[in-house]
Chain A
Amino acid sequence: MDPRDPRLPHPQANQPGPQTGRLERAPTIGPGHSFGSITDKISTIVLTRKTSGGWFIGFGIAFAMMMMMLYAIGWLLIKGVGIWGNNNPVGWAFDIINFVWWIGIGHAGTLISAILLLLRQSWRTSINRFAEAMTLFAVACAGLFPLLHVGRPWFAYWLLPYPNTMSLWPQFRSPLMWDVFAVATYATVSLLFWYIGLVPDFATLRDRAKSRPWKILYGFFSLGWRGSAKHWYRYESAYLLLAGLATPLVLSVHTIVSFDFATSVIPGWHTTFFPPYFVAGAIYAGFAMVLTLAIPVRKAFGLQDFITMRHLENMGKVMLTTGLIVGYAYVMEVFYSWYSGNIYEMYVMFNRAFGPYWWTYWLLIVCNIVAPQALWFKKVRTSPLILFVIAMFVNVGMWLERFVIIVVSLHRDFLPSSWGMYSPTRWDFMLFFGTIGLFLTLLFLFIRFLPMISIFEMRTLLPEAQVHED
């Protein structure tokens, strides 16, 4: 038999047994794993021939919702923004609400992979790939809305600075222009960050894949990665640098999104502390969404060993913290609207709490402030089911927060004569749920065809990975 056959363990291949004895267990990965077992466990999810029926059902539903989105978009292009509920004075509604909501969700990924990396939080390892993918898909959904909300989408390219026969340029004072650059940069950098993280795992898949087409496909994306020490060295420094860049970036993106409102004159928008408030909210929403997705996936693919209780608990803690920050923001809003002595500010707060949309405000308080208080208890933080429910509350709450900020501020601003009401149409809802469909569709494809957990980083978590001088 050919000694080069990789399928055979080497005659002298040593057993992991002896070492495990003299090592304390790494808390972020289940016991009894070796380099090989991790590699096989994760890569089989991708490489296994047959796809589970559950996946097909889920994907089918998601895909149907995405088709609904395309229908809604088609009709929008035919008829115009008027098919939505937007009006005068409520010029922005679901379109921008959804944009901000998705962008917010898109923050957890980069945050987890970048900031936690810089903070040397090893527990990030098993969830960062997943969270980054989520980020990308969320940003993709978010990106749709600024494009579609304009009255003449076919001229949206005017927002790009390019030399033209009108010798005109975009108006760079507009926060919308800042958005264009911020979101585009964020999407690009996240994508690169994600892809670079995938390269070594592509190599693994290349070497594990059975059929030649798959070998070629994965090989193509692996860029010929061979794990050279020099490569690893440059790779790690690049990865670290990217993390260093992504951290201020992720903070800047939602800051700039908040500028859309903060730099305007509308009472309830014109606020200096929107940036920190929005960033905290974004992290809050992001982690909620990670939990919403991670808990079912972990169950479905039996990844309890990799996404352990500790991960869930930590995410719960992060949510509790950011939730409290957001709560503080809500309180401050009320306070300074009173303290400012500005009748418009005062009225906006009054209107939020007791105006025609009072219920959105109070529901938002319940979802974003009351519900998460349960996270004080370890019992709650360590119960996947309850965590999932709370995460759901926060998802809804954060959407409502944007509704309150955007619609409820706009519908009654300065001149009582021009006050109005807003009510969404079925097209608003179709587009919103449609983007959720898009998000899930991409997610299903991801977990089927790419390793949803970073294999090479998981390897480093093993005790055997440590080099011991002796």
Chain B
Amino acid sequence: MQVFHRSANTLSRFSIFGAVFLVAFALWFVYQLNRSPFATGQRDVVTQPVPFSHEHHVSGLGIDCRYCHTSVETSSFAGIPPTATCMNCHKQIWTGAAMLEPVRASLREGEPIRWQRVHRLPEFVHFNHGIHIQKGIGCVSCHGRVDQMPLVWQEKPLSMSWCLECHRAPEEFVRPRDKVFDMTWEPEDQDEIGPRLVRDYGIRSKTNCSICHY
């Protein structure tokens, strides 16, 4: 006597294959998800207490990165400008702008402005701006075209594999020291200058753990 209906045959075989594909798809999905901006937080614009526009200040007014990020060449931390730095200019221009009220308030009350961090590394990762600048890695390489960002967002994934891309092949990313802060610079022939700069700057491709993790 039959226990199952005819269709059970097709059904059972189909479901076996179905299961295989389902699992495969799930794995692929998770894999993609981990690399997606959703996970890395790329390109989502962070609202700041003051809507400071890098686009305006950098490409518009042509202010050098180091005018505000003073310690970027010397320290691990690039430095966020004190209110005083803003007011150097803004006590002359836009003195009444409502947009700048928080800045003036900060100076008045001696209360620092609390900026939202955009580029965040886990606390077990130690990144040093100074040495990267020194070895000819441009701001753009990691921060993207900040001069085109009204409000700054995170351009690159900042994942370990992303760091390794450069640490394994610095010659593909290194640029002349005088072009480090140049937002628009494009190499004519990276294959030519890359190896030369790696030699000149004594860049060693370091990928052992304690370079970043300690």
Contacts and interface: CB of A to CB of B under 8 A. Distances in A.
- A and B associate: yes
B161 interface: yes
A448 B134 CA distance: 73
A166 B3 contact: no
Contacts of B124: none
A213 to B, nearest CB: 11
Interface in A191-221: 206, 212, 215-216, 219
Contact of B3 (A163, A164, A165, A206): A206
> For B4, B12, B35, B157, which residue has the most chain A Cβ atoms within 10 angstroms?
B4
A219 B161 contact: no
Nearest to A168: B160
A167 interface: yes
A165 B160 contact: yes
A167 B160 contact: yes
A163 B33 CA distance: 13
> For B3, B4, B9, B161, which residue has the most chain A Cβ atoms within 10 angstroms?
B3
Interface string A162-175: 01111110000000
A31 interface: no
B164 interface: yes
Nearest to A212: B3
Contact-size category for B:
10 to 19
A244 interface: no
Nearest to B164: A167
A206 to B, nearest CB: 6
A163 B161 CA distance: 11
Contact of A215 (B3, B8, B160): B3
Interface in B1-29: 3-4, 8-9, 12
A401 to B, nearest CB: 38
A219 B5 CA distance: 12
B4 A165 contact: no
Nearest to A215: B3
A312 B31 CA distance: 53
Contact-size category for A:
10 to 19
A224 interface: yes
B85 interface: no
Contacts of B160: 165-168
Contact of A165 (B8, B9, B161): B161
Contacts of B159: 165-166
A219 to B, nearest CB: 4
> For A167, A212, A223, which residue has the most chain B Cβ atoms within 10 angstroms?
A167
Contacts of A219: 3-4
A167 B34 CA distance: 12
Main secondary structure of the interface of B (DSSP, over half): helix
A219 B31 CA distance: 37
Contact of A163 (B12, B31, B157): B31
A165 B157 contact: yes
B209 to A, nearest CB: 10
B95 to A, nearest CB: 47
Given A216-B3, A219-B3, A219-B4, A165 B164 contact: no
A212 B34 CA distance: 47
A163 B157 CA distance: 16
A464 B34 CA distance: 63
Contacts of A165: 34-35, 157, 159-161
B4 A166 contact: no
A299 B83 CA distance: 87
Contacts of A206: 3
A167 B209 CA distance: 12
Interface in B89-148: none
Contacts of B8: 224
Contacts of B34: 164-165
Interface in B164-184: 164
B9 to A, nearest CB: 8
A42 B34 CA distance: 52
A165 B157 CA distance: 10
A346 B125 CA distance: 46
Nearest to A209: B3
Contacts of B12: 223-224
Contacts of A215: 3
B157 A224 contact: no
A223 B9 CA distance: 9
A167 B161 contact: yes
Contacts of A223: 12
Contacts of A167: 160-161, 164
Contact of B4 (A163, A164, A224): A224
B8 to A, nearest CB: 8
A212 B157 CA distance: 57
Nearest to B160: A166
Contacts of A212: 3
A219 B161 CA distance: 50
Contacts of A163: 31
B10 to A, nearest CB: 12
A212 B1 CA distance: 12
Nearest to A222: B3
A395 to B, nearest CB: 39
A69 B191 CA distance: 61
Contacts of A224: 4, 8-9, 12
27 contacts: A163-B31, A164-B34, A164-B161, A165-B34, A165-B35, A165-B157, A165-B159, A165-B160, A165-B161, A166-B159, A166-B160, A166-B161, A167-B160, A167-B161, A167-B164, A206-B3, A212-B3, A215-B3, A216-B3, A216-B4, A219-B3, A219-B4, A223-B12, A224-B4, A224-B8, A224-B9, A224-B12
Given A164-B34, A216-B3, 15 more contacts: A165-B34, A165-B35, A165-B159, A165-B160, A165-B161, A166-B159, A166-B161, A167-B160, A167-B164, A168-B160, A206-B3, A212-B3, A219-B4, A223-B12, A224-B12
